[in-house]
A and B are shown apart, each in its own frame.
Chain A
């Protein structure tokens, strides 16, 4: 798979949806990530983990997609976790202030552990 062929998959673990974007999140094909998360949110999922293990690059277009997901989930009172971020991604999210709306973890397992303890009405 080339970085340009952006794809997204997901799985549900308990009450949590884990989303796996794959490829560069730098053009409008990233709308599929928003769409995937929106479908889970509309089904009532309030806990979402996005694993960036296969996403090396994000630009301003990708940031606008993530912001859209953050807004949708926060509006429902949900919780969003980012995991497996490269240092560059982590620095970018911190610099832009996105980290105040999400919780970041090194691994998916840590995020799932954390969310287990979080209860939503």
Chain B
């Protein structure tokens, strides 16, 4: 085979190598470095650089370079106007035109061929290669090959630019979403603080109910998205108490029928207030409206039977009652942990769903045993109980309700 034919075959193989490298799954800078090595190995030069022109600043930044040590690529900016007038994706030889400004950053005679990279009307950057190691001149065939390579390179760099801009946009949107989400949660918490401010005995009640509900729902395998929904429902479930009179909320005596009616209106009032909000989570309004329903159908406001109550509302009901029992109220002091657990057990399958009580007991047992890295219930309790007694009680209730 003649050397000329061998050379053509080698160039064709190099083009195949180039295609392989630009479409590889390597990290972008590794891909471009490989492309530069393909070019340098094809034309037998030890110098080469691929630079992108940054949009806005117009500065040139090297994406890959070799053999141009100490070159100040920023100086290319002064020659950018000349570079832009050169034929698109066509190589220009240093000695071909008066291009001193364009070639200014490179050491004398180091850069032999400069190719402006374009994709349609987008100026992408510059591709520069040095003199051949043999000092032989670049031939017409060499320059035709450079042009093919430059076209492919320009598309690769442009795609990367588009991808990077898209990634930046996604990141910006993500930050915006996080900011909105934070404001959303802070607003909800401000609402809850307003409720708590009205009723001194229920300070932080909404916060605790939200945390307890999340703990139970997580034990039951809820997704992170749904956990956020029940967290919000926990915060807002008592918002209707803003309309209930302070006297009723803080009354130490047994409530009369009128007081009881007013107090019990709070779940419908919460629902009425919150129903204007379109939540991205399922069941929030249902959970708020029915958090005083019972699985035996004797709750309020609508005496809804168990099968019409969602798992979320059954969770919220237990979280709400557990916090009520473990907090001081105007008419009684808080119950001990043992009394509270007995109450939960006794009311399982009448007031509360037995399966959810069991889930609550399981998660509380894990927290008491220190098995959960971030406990949600225990930090809010006065821990004046014997952990071994409580864990035994919890295990027994779980076992009994699991039968």
Taking a contact as CB atoms closer than 8 A, the residue among A27, A63, A92, A94 that contacts B34 in the complex is A27
Beta-carbon contact of A96 and B34 below 8 Å: no
> Which residues of B lie under 8 Å from residue A92 when comparing CB positions?
6, 10
Chain B residue nearest to A74 (CB atoms) is: B133
> Which residues of A lie under 8 Å from residue B6 when comparing CB positions?
91-92, 95
User: Please, how many angstroms separate the alpha-carbon atoms of A63 and B17 in the complex?
Assistant: 12
Beta-carbon contact of A64 and B30 below 8 Å: no
Interface residue? A35 (CB, 8 A): no
> Which residues of B lie under 8 Å from residue A26 when comparing CB positions?
17
> Which residues of B lie under 8 Å from residue A71 when comparing CB positions?
46, 133
Taking a contact as CB atoms closer than 8 A, the residue among A62, A68, A95 that contacts B3 in the complex is A95
User: With A28-B30, A91-B6, A95-B10 given, is the CB distance from A61 to B44 under 8 Å?
Assistant: no
Beta-carbon contact of A67 and B44 below 8 Å: yes
> Which residues of B lie under 8 Å from residue A101 when comparing CB positions?
133
Q: Give 1 or 0 for each of B29-46: 1 = CB within 8 Å of chain A CB.
A: 010011001111110111
> Which residues of A lie under 8 Å from residue B7 when comparing CB positions?
95
User: With A60-B13, A60-B14, A60-B17 given, is the CB distance from A97 to B134 under 8 Å?
Assistant: yes
Chief secondary structure at chain B's binding surface: helix
User: Please, how many angstroms separate the alpha-carbon atoms of A63 and B40 in the complex?
Assistant: 8
A89-105 interface (Cβ within 8 A of B): 91-92, 94-98, 100-101
Beta-carbon contact of B40 and A64 below 8 Å: yes
Q: In the complex, what's the smallest C-beta–C-beta distance from A80 to chain B, in angstroms?
A: 13
Chain B residue nearest to A58 (CB atoms) is: B41
> Which residues of A lie under 8 Å from residue B44 when comparing CB positions?
63, 67, 96-98
Beta-carbon contact of A64 and B133 below 8 Å: no
Q: Give 1 or 0 for each of B185-225: 1 = CB within 8 Å of chain A CB.
A: 00000000000000000000000000000000000000000
Beta-carbon contact of A59 and B133 below 8 Å: no
Q: In the complex, what's the smallest C-beta–C-beta distance from B402 to chain A, in angstroms?
A: 54
Beta-carbon contact of B41 and A67 below 8 Å: yes
Q: In the complex, what's the smallest C-beta–C-beta distance from A70 to chain B, in angstroms?
A: 7
Q: In the complex, what's the smallest C-beta–C-beta distance from B237 to chain A, in angstroms?
A: 60
User: With A61-B17, A67-B44, A67-B46 given, is the CB distance from A28 to B34 under 8 Å?
Assistant: yes
> Which residues of B lie under 8 Å from residue A27 when comparing CB positions?
34
A64, A65, A70: most-surrounded residue (chain B CB, <10 A)? A64
User: Please, how many angstroms separate the alpha-carbon atoms of A110 and B37 in the complex?
Assistant: 32
User: Please, how many angstroms separate the alpha-carbon atoms of A97 and B133 in the complex?
Assistant: 10
A21-67 interface (Cβ within 8 A of B): 26-28, 59-65, 67
User: Please, how many angstroms separate the alpha-carbon atoms of A101 and B34 in the complex?
Assistant: 24
User: Please, how many angstroms separate the alpha-carbon atoms of A111 and B10 in the complex?
Assistant: 28
Q: How many residues of A contact B (CB 8 A)?
A: 23
Chain A residue nearest to B42 (CB atoms) is: A60
User: Please, how many angstroms separate the alpha-carbon atoms of A96 and B398 in the complex?
Assistant: 80
> Which residues of B lie under 8 Å from residue A94 when comparing CB positions?
3
User: Please, how many angstroms separate the alpha-carbon atoms of A92 and B7 in the complex?
Assistant: 9
User: Please, how many angstroms separate the alpha-carbon atoms of A33 and B281 in the complex?
Assistant: 58
Q: In the complex, what's the smallest C-beta–C-beta distance from B66 to chain A, in angstroms?
A: 8
Beta-carbon contact of A64 and B41 below 8 Å: yes
Beta-carbon contact of A60 and B41 below 8 Å: yes
User: With A60-B14, A64-B41 given, is the CB distance from A28 to B46 under 8 Å?
Assistant: no
> Which residues of A lie under 8 Å from residue B14 when comparing CB positions?
59-60
B22-78 interface (Cβ within 8 A of A): 30, 33-34, 37-42, 44-46, 66
Q: In the complex, what's the smallest C-beta–C-beta distance from A109 to chain B, in angstroms?
A: 29
User: With A59-B14, A95-B7 given, is the CB distance from A70 to B41 under 8 Å?
Assistant: no
User: With A95-B6, A95-B7, A96-B10 given, is the CB distance from A60 to B133 under 8 Å?
Assistant: no
Q: In the complex, what's the smallest C-beta–C-beta distance from A2 to chain B, in angstroms?
A: 17
Taking a contact as CB atoms closer than 8 A, the residue among A61, A62, A65, A67 that contacts B133 in the complex is A67
User: Please, how many angstroms separate the alpha-carbon atoms of A26 and B13 in the complex?
Assistant: 12
Taking a contact as CB atoms closer than 8 A, the residue among A28, A60, A63, A65 that contacts B33 in the complex is A28
User: Please, how many angstroms separate the alpha-carbon atoms of A60 and B134 in the complex?
Assistant: 16
> Which residues of A lie under 8 Å from residue B39 when comparing CB positions?
60
Chain B residue nearest to A70 (CB atoms) is: B133
User: With A95-B6, A95-B7, A96-B10 given, is the CB distance from A62 to B41 under 8 Å?
Assistant: yes
User: Please, how many angstroms separate the alpha-carbon atoms of A98 and B6 in the complex?
Assistant: 14
User: Please, how many angstroms separate the alpha-carbon atoms of A62 and B40 in the complex?
Assistant: 10
> Which residues of A lie under 8 Å from residue B41 when comparing CB positions?
59-65, 67
Q: Give 1 or 0 for each of B139-160: 1 = CB within 8 Å of chain A CB.
A: 0000000000000000000000
User: Please, how many angstroms separate the alpha-carbon atoms of A70 and B40 in the complex?
Assistant: 14
Q: Please, could you name 5 A-B residue pairs with CB atoms under 8 Å apart, sorted by A?
A: A60-B10, A63-B41, A64-B40, A91-B6, A95-B3
Which 8 residue pairs across A and B have the least CB separation, nearest first? Answer: A60-B41, A64-B41, A63-B41, A64-B40, A61-B37, A60-B14, A95-B6, A64-B37
